[in-house]
Amino acid sequence: MKKIHEIDANLRELSHLTPFEKAEINAYKRALLAKIHADTRDVIESYEHLERVAKMTGMSLEAVEKLAETAIIELAEAMEKEFGVSA
C-alpha cells in the first residue's frame, strides 16, 4: 500500500494539471485497468487447459502451473504499483 506522503505528493501533482491532462491520465489508467482485468481473466481461464498445454509444450504440469502463478503475481504487482491496491 502507498504511504501517506506518496499519496499527498500525487494529489499535489494532480492539482496543477489542466482538465485535459487529468482526462488523459484517467483514460490511461482506465485502459491499464482493463488490460490487467483481461489478462487476469485469460490466465484464470487457462487453468482449465494447463494439462493440455503441458502436453503440447512438453513441459511438466508443475512448470506450467508455476508460469501461470508467476503471471498472476505480476498482474497483482502491477495493480499495487499503479492503483495502490494490494491483491
CB 67 within 8 A of CB 49: no
Confidence (pLDDT) at 66: 93
- Give tens-digit pLDDT for 32-48: 999 989 988 988 888 88
Q: What is the mean pLDDT of the chain?
A: 84
For 29-71, the three-class secondary structure string (H helix, E strand, C coil) is HHHHHHHHHHHHHHHHHHHHHHHHHHHHHCCCHHHHHHHHHHH
Helix (H, G, I), strand (E, B), or coil: what is residue 10?
helix
Stated pTM of the model: 0.65
